[in-house]
Structure formats: structure tokens, C-alpha cells
Amino acid sequence: VVNEPGGTAYKEFAHSGFAEQGIEVYGKTGSTEDPDHAWFAGFATDGTGRSIAIALVVEGGQHGSSDAAPLARDIIQFCIEAQYIGNTSNITERE
């Protein structure tokens, strides 16, 4: 749903710039009906063995694609900026 045109979360990730940074994202959106909740579960990896996993629920959310996927995208962006994944050339190894 993240990487394929027509996938429910494609529009949230298609122009995120993650692929250009070497970050691969995989995920699935969903929703429940009673009560209404939206969810996203997935992971992102940078190809060096560093990965993050995400599972989130938006209480009262209507659709996983419009309510939960944008939050997942923002979490991944934060993890890149905090250098949990992605280019880690500025991180010095601890002895």
C-alpha cells in the first residue's frame, strides 16, 4: 500500500524523498468500524541493517490512509533526522 500506485498509502509516501535517501518503506493501512479507528503498521530500512518498525492506532480516525499513514510518514522522517536510520556518516562510533 506504500510503494504501489493505487495503494491506500501511496500518496503519503510517493513524494516523501525516502527512496532518494536510500530508505525503503513497507506498510499496511486499515480501519475498524465500531468504534472508528485507523491504523498503520510497517517498517523502514536503510539497506545497512538499520531498520525501524512502526505500529500506530488513531482513535476516532476514519481511514488508515488519511489519518494514520501521514503520522507514520512523519515518524519515519523524524527517525531519519535523528539518524536512527539513513545516512549516519555524522555519527561517531562509541568505544
Domain ranges of the chain: 10-81
Backbone angles phi, psi at 79, to 5 degrees: -65, -35
Q: What pTM did the predictor assign?
A: 0.84
pLDDT at 88: 64
Average pLDDT along the chain: 87
Grid cell for residue 69 = 499513514
pLDDT at 95 over 70: no
What number is the average pLDDT over the span 42-64?
A: 92
